[in-house]
Structure 1
Amino acid sequence: MLEELLIFTRGGLILWTCKELGNALRGSPIDTLIRSCLLEERSGAASYNYDAPGAAYTLKWTFHNELGIVFVAVYQKIFHLLYVDDLLAMVKKEFSEIYDPKQTVYNDFDDVFRQLTKEAEARAEEMKRSKQVSKPVNNLAKKQDKFQKSSTGGGVTRKGDGESESDGANDKSLRVKKMENGHANDNHVGNDKLLVVNSEKDESSNDGAFDVNKLQKLRQKGSKKTDVAKKGSKIVPNKKLTKNKRVWNDSPQEEKLDFTEQMNENGDESIAVVAADQGDSMMDKEETFSSDSESEDEPGKENVTNSKKSGWFSSMFQNISGKANLEKADLEPALKALKDRLMTKNVAEEIAEKLCESVAKSLEGKKLGSFTRISSTVQAAMEEALVRILTPKRSIDILRDVHAAKEHGKPYVVVFVGVNGVGKSTNLAKVAYWLLQHDVKVMMAACDTFRSGAVEQLRTHARRLQIPIFEKGYEKDPAVVAKEAIQEASRVGSDVVLVDTAGRMQDNEPLMRALSKLINLNNPDLVLFVGEALVGNDAVDQLSKFNQKLADLSSSPNPRLIDGILLTKFDTIDDKVGAALSMVYVSGAPVMFVGCGQSYTDLKKLNVTSIVKTLLK
């Protein structure tokens, strides 16, 4: 049974809801649908399942893009209502005819909805009956076909036709005669069909068989081509490879990369040496990532490639649909080109397909402006969608949250998680360096007690940055080590605790269980997923399984999931920036940091505008 049907505008104004249903929804399924599906460009999905304590609903929706209206139907998940899609289509059609932007109350629509519900239920019941009736009829037809094949194909005739069962010799001679006539008796029906089809294409063909003469001609042509190719080809002798001579020059010696031996007068490594060498962190600078698409928008430059592809007239009238409203068939060519472009930029195929479906739903039914190309309309809609996805839904200001936690007398805890070899420890040190520049007292917690050399690596960063480190060695419980580190930070007055964890694959059950225990026991303020910008489809699998494992292995009814993303190796991918989009789309968490180098200063913010331009370039 339908729980609720709601009609509202894209601005959030409720126009009509069914009062006769009278079922109070548990939880907030419609608000969750708007927040996690419609606003995050996931409207291309067929339905949305809402699961909450004591409530399990399925929601289906449709849009009227011309009027900016949303129609949502809610029913319990255990029911499979076949008429909901049909009902939504009929309600959309009837309500759009009476809609007035100045009117906000539609009490007269109750009777119309009641009649539409009866019609939709009757259609669904009739369709269900027709399917049940068609099944035994199909089974009977299959049995008859099987009986006919068995009676005609084995050399045995049915009794009553004046013939008896033939022996092996007569049956063999009979089959030979039939083959001489051009077709066997058991394939008579199929060959008759071939005759009809081939007679339309070529009247000279008698029985629809393949012409052997044509095959011989094709082979002769192919042999001639190969002979010509052989005559034209020349044998090139192998040249002897010689080794290039080494050139000795007086180039200056490269600068030393290891600064761990630089000490001050007291024998300790000084942070002033690091600061003088590294400079200020890039996190506080407003910079844009280099993108070739930005140069296209500069004034005074002509787009030579577009002018070569099409002239003024063809570009003006290219892809004009000529229809009042856009249909899905009109959008498919432009959406397919956009999907291919996104996939070449390292966007996961599944994400690119869902994005195109969402854009198609948002444009379907809209009117195309005069002298407007469908491709430009689709690209503009995709650009808006990408900006909405990459723009953080909630503000996470670490410096503000650190000062708020300090006022409450407790340290701000950040846990770095991720797969093996993505650079968690190195980027943890970059974040520590950025916090030090804002006069924040930082402590590192070496909770990677699994990988050999992990504690020594973090100890080297702590020594260079002159910050304390809490360590207990290897083969210890990382959850207990993190808890003791937080207690030590509270005792010594540290503002932030940066917890380094072991790299683990998303399918490693024991390590994922240990990570879930660490997060549940210590309840950190921020869980950062460190991922490579090099990955494509694997980014979807990593993030989705990390979140799934953290949710499944948590004992809390509201489990802690990934709060933010730190993208590493961003300077090695050129324009293949699709991993950022895939990660944000899957997790809903914003990209908070971008690692773009090997020094402590190489940490940036994600520039959404530049990323979107690069993706659509």
Structure 2
Amino acid sequence: MLEELLIFTRGGLILWSSCRALGGAALKGSPIDALIRSCLLEERSAEASFSQDNYALKWTFHNELGLVFVVVYQRMLHLLYVDDLLAAVRKEFSQIYDPKRTNYDDFSDIFRQLHLEAEARAEEMKKSKQAVVSRPSPAASQKIGGRKVRGDSHGCAAGAKKGGSGKDDSDGDSGKEQHTSLANGTFKGQENGGLKKDNSHASDAVKGKENGGPRDNGAFDVNKLHKIRKKYRKNDATDNGNKKLIKPEPKKKGKPQRVWDDAPSNEKLDFTDPADERGDEVTEHVAVNQGESMMDKDDYVNSDSEEEEVEDAPKKKGWFSSMFQSIAGNNVLERSDLQPALKALKDRLMTKNVAEEIAEKLCESVAASLEGKKLGSFTRISSTVQTAMEDALLRILTPWRSIDILRDVHAAKERGRPYVIVFIGVNGVGKSTNLAKVAYWLLQHNLSVTLAACDTFRSGAVEQLRTHARRLQIPIFEKGYEKDPAVVAREAIQEASRNKSDVVLVDTAGRMQDNEPLMRALSKLINLNSPDLVLFVGEALVGNDAVDQLTKFNQKLADMSAVPTARLIDGILLTKFDTIDDKVGAALSMVYISGAPVMFVGCGQSYTDLKKLNVKSIVKTLLK
């Protein structure tokens, strides 16, 4: 059953709705709002369908008029006529559309007729398919020479002609020759009812001996094999004789061995941090003299540099024809016109470390948004595609919801509780180090911070976090190893609430996305403590693996959640951003997959090396 068909402009103005016009029941929830928010605004318009609650949604565009057509139906129903109906509605409504008109009540009768015709076509197609399936195959049973032969599992069956009568018992055709394909040849029906082998496709080795001896028909000759063996034996003997005359090369001198003193000096071998011996005096010096965090500094993009244009494929049209169409601006863009420029853009994105799946979806989305539009005057297809891709990347990387940590911390402080941030991620990405950078940034804004050592799995994790706490002169809550991290986090939050701490930063163990026990423990920690922010810490070096990591982390958190509304990843912290040069595609892949914004970027080894993501700079680098 069709629930609703909605027509609206890209600006959000609803022109016609089947529920309003035909008096249908209102939809439960807001599936169309979810489609706009989660799919259309996130450049996922090239996907086939979208699901929300119990509804399935499909859509199509009229890019020239700027219209969107959306149909909603029950997910459990497999309606065959939805695509056909959308195409018909799009065609009919575009003929009566007027930008100055806002009332289209007369379209209701047209829609009823289109709906009935689409259902009738779908029913007729369904019956025709059932008839084809129920009809026996012509080659299922044939008679060859008065004997019935059936097809085998390899498709070698049978379609031989009955001898003598000239009639075929399976399909009634007469006078036609049928063939039976076998592994090494083809058998043709003869008039006398016998079978003769057709050697046109058989192997030469099966032809047999006609004159009492083997023929040279391309088969391997054993005598040649013996000659080749004797030849190689002679060569090997010659080589062995020559080897005896060659002098062995002198061995190269290796690295000289290190000579250790009898009584090594402790000063030469002592590489411990002086802060460990001199105590709080040095740690206070380190914390004070680190300088201002780069989070509070703005990055400016140099807009003077020229952007490279996407090269078009070899043009099929002449120079004068393409130049005239560029000037006239009447050329309607088709999918075939966009493919060369989109392929060049896809290759460029993949060289910048964007996952192949993401690059493919982005290009499909851009093609869907441009197909049917008219090319502007003095405009090339490559520049049009480049502009559309740039707008799409800006929309994806720009957060659709604002997350201001400092504002949220003060709001939580007014309610008398600490603001809790949980850091999660895979092994070795730098969670503890970047947690300390975030703590340093918060300290600069006169906020009190408590660290929670909830990595009770990895050896040395508690000591590492303790070192950061001592350097930054902030308290740390720890319970050692082999403890339940969810309980440790809860007790740390309670302790921070008693001490009037503003922020609690929870460090968790690194875990691979396929580690079931550790993912279950992480889900328990998040569900038990309900943190204000869940930050996924990922490397900027990864490419396709970023998609797998974020997808499975979110999937595990959703599947193992004890509450109906599962808590997923809220933001991303990208580490090692200073090591990737212009390969910044991991940021795009992570944001596209999770929908969460990149809130922090780690770009160095000191506490001040924490920055905001400059969206314009990333987009410019991706398309450069």
**Taking structure 2 as the reference length, what is the TM-score of the superposition?**
0.78
Give yes or no for the alignment of 1:581 onto 2:588.
yes
Change (3 A) 1:157 1:122: closer
Q: What residue is the counterpart of 2:558 in the other structure? A: 551
Give yes or no for the alignment of 1:502 onto 2:502.
no
Contact 2:310–2:341 (CA under 8 A) maintained in structure 1: no
Query: Which shows bigger deviation, 38-47 or 120-129?
Result: 120-129
Contact 1:48–1:58 (CA under 8 A) maintained in structure 2: yes
Change (3 A) 1:314 1:507: farther
Partner secondary structure for residue 261 of structure 1:
helix
Change (3 A) 1:239 1:322: farther
Give yes or no for the alignment of 1:451 onto 2:458.
yes
Q: C-alpha distance in 2, partners of 1:327/1:545?
A: 37
Give yes or no for the alignment of 1:489 onto 2:488.
no
Letter in 1 for 2:280: D
Contact 1:260–1:464 (CA under 8 A) maintained in structure 2: no
Paired positions, count: 528
Q: What residue is the counterpart of 1:166 in the other structure? A: none
For 1:455-604, list aligned pairs within 5 A. 455-604=462-611
Which of these residues, 88, 92, 105, is aligned with residue 107 of structure 1?
A: 105
Q: What residue is the counterpart of 2:275 in the other structure? A: 261
Which of these residues, 305, 312, 317, is aligned with residue 296 of structure 1?
A: 305
Q: What residue is the counterpart of 2:285 in the other structure? A: 273
Q: C-alpha distance in 2, partners of 1:502/1:606?
A: 25
Q: Deviations over 1:553-578 (max 9, x none)?
A: 11111111100000001111111111
Letter in 1 for 2:592: Y
Letter in 2 for 1:296: S
Contact 2:310–2:383 (CA under 8 A) maintained in structure 1: no
Contact 1:359–1:378 (CA under 8 A) maintained in structure 2: yes
4+ runs of 1 displaced by more than 6 Å? 145-154, 175-178, 188-191, 238-245, 303-306, 313-316
Partner secondary structure for residue 498 of structure 1:
strand
Q: What residue is the counterpart of 1:181 in the other structure? A: none
Q: What residue is the counterpart of 2:24 in the other structure? A: 22
Partner secondary structure for residue 140 of structure 1:
coil
Partner secondary structure for residue 417 of structure 1:
strand
Partner secondary structure for residue 600 of structure 2:
strand
Higher helix share: 1
Letter in 1 for 2:554: N
| Shift in Å, 1:287 | 1.8
Q: Deviations over 1:559-613 (max 9, x none)?
A: 1110000000111111111110010011100000000111111100000001001
Q: C-alpha distance in 1, partners of 2:458/2:499?
A: 28
Give yes or no for the alignment of 1:44 onto 2:35.
no
Q: What residue is the counterpart of 1:129 in the other structure? A: 127
| Shift in Å, 1:135 | 2.7
Give yes or no for the alignment of 1:12 onto 2:24.
no
Change (3 A) 1:364 1:490: same
Partner secondary structure for residue 512 of structure 1:
helix
| Shift in Å, 1:346 | 0.8
| Shift in Å, 1:62 | 0.4
| Shift in Å, 1:288 | 4.7
Q: Deviations over 1:344-401 (max 9, x none)?
A: 1111111111111111111011010123111111110000000000001111111111
Change (3 A) 1:150 1:67: closer
| Shift in Å, 1:270 | 4.6
Q: What residue is the counterpart of 1:419 in the other structure? A: 426
Contact 2:187–2:196 (CA under 8 A) maintained in structure 1: no
| Shift in Å, 1:59 | 0.2
Q: What residue is the counterpart of 2:384 in the other structure? A: 377
Q: C-alpha distance in 2, partners of 1:516/1:121?
A: 46
Q: C-alpha distance in 1, partners of 2:445/2:325?
A: 54
Partner secondary structure for residue 5 of structure 1:
strand
| Shift in Å, 1:324 | 3.4
Q: C-alpha distance in 2, partners of 1:371/1:495?
A: 58
| Shift in Å, 1:161 | 6.0
Partner secondary structure for residue 138 of structure 2:
helix
Q: C-alpha distance in 2, partners of 1:545/1:145?
A: 57
Give yes or no for the alignment of 1:339 onto 2:346.
yes
Contact 1:318–1:373 (CA under 8 A) maintained in structure 2: no
Partner secondary structure for residue 361 of structure 2:
helix
Contact 2:452–2:477 (CA under 8 A) maintained in structure 1: yes
Q: C-alpha distance in 2, partners of 1:21/1:608?
A: 45
Change (3 A) 1:295 1:517: same
Q: C-alpha distance in 2, partners of 1:515/1:157?
A: 70
Letter in 1 for 2:450: M
Q: Deviations over 1:464-501 (max 9, x none)?
A: 11100000000011111001101110111111000000
Q: C-alpha distance in 2, partners of 1:413/1:116?
A: 55
Give yes or no for the alignment of 1:83 onto 2:81.
yes
Q: C-alpha distance in 2, partners of 1:344/1:9?
A: 36
Change (3 A) 1:150 1:104: closer
| Shift in Å, 1:131 | 1.6
Q: What residue is the counterpart of 2:298 in the other structure? A: 286
For 1:142-153, list aligned pairs within 5 A. 142-144=140-142
Q: What residue is the counterpart of 1:167 in the other structure? A: none
Change (3 A) 1:534 1:295: farther
Q: C-alpha distance in 2, partners of 1:381/1:318?
A: 23
Letter in 1 for 2:339: E
Query: Is there any run of 5+ residues in structure 2 with no aligned partner, and where?
Result: 167-185, 190-194, 203-216, 219-248, 257-269
Which of these residues, 357, 366, 369, is aligned with residue 359 of structure 1?
A: 366
Query: Which shows bigger deviation, 145-154 or 532-541?
Result: 145-154
Contact 1:319–1:374 (CA under 8 A) maintained in structure 2: no
Change (3 A) 1:383 1:159: closer
Letter in 2 for 1:274: V
Q: What residue is the counterpart of 1:194 in the other structure? A: none
Q: Deviations over 1:305-332 (max 9, x none)?
A: 99xx99xx89984996986321111111
Change (3 A) 1:601 1:188: same
Letter in 1 for 2:11: G
Contact 2:573–2:600 (CA under 8 A) maintained in structure 1: yes
Q: What residue is the counterpart of 1:197 in the other structure? A: none
Q: What residue is the counterpart of 1:219 in the other structure? A: none
Partner secondary structure for residue 431 of structure 1:
helix
Which of these residues, 93, 112, 115, is aligned with residue 117 of structure 1?
A: 115
Letter in 2 for 1:333: P
Partner secondary structure for residue 129 of structure 1:
helix
Letter in 2 for 1:424: K
Change (3 A) 1:185 1:65: farther
Change (3 A) 1:241 1:70: farther
Name which structure has the greater RCO, CA cutoff 8 Å, separation 6+.
1
Partner secondary structure for residue 592 of structure 1:
strand
Q: Deviations over 1:171-215 (max 9, x none)?
A: xxxx9999xxxxx95559999xxxxxxxxxxxxxxxxxxx99xxx
Change (3 A) 1:394 1:257: farther
Q: C-alpha distance in 2, partners of 1:361/1:304?
A: 21
For 1:45-64, list aligned pairs within 5 A. 45-51=47-53, 56-64=54-62
Q: C-alpha distance in 2, partners of 1:541/1:612?
A: 23
Query: Is there any run of 5+ residues in structure 1 with no aligned partner, and where?
Result: 163-174, 179-183, 192-210, 213-237, 246-255
Change (3 A) 1:445 1:150: closer
Contact 1:316–1:371 (CA under 8 A) maintained in structure 2: no
Change (3 A) 1:21 1:537: farther
Letter in 2 for 1:515: L
Contact 2:309–2:383 (CA under 8 A) maintained in structure 1: no
Percent identity between matched residues is 72
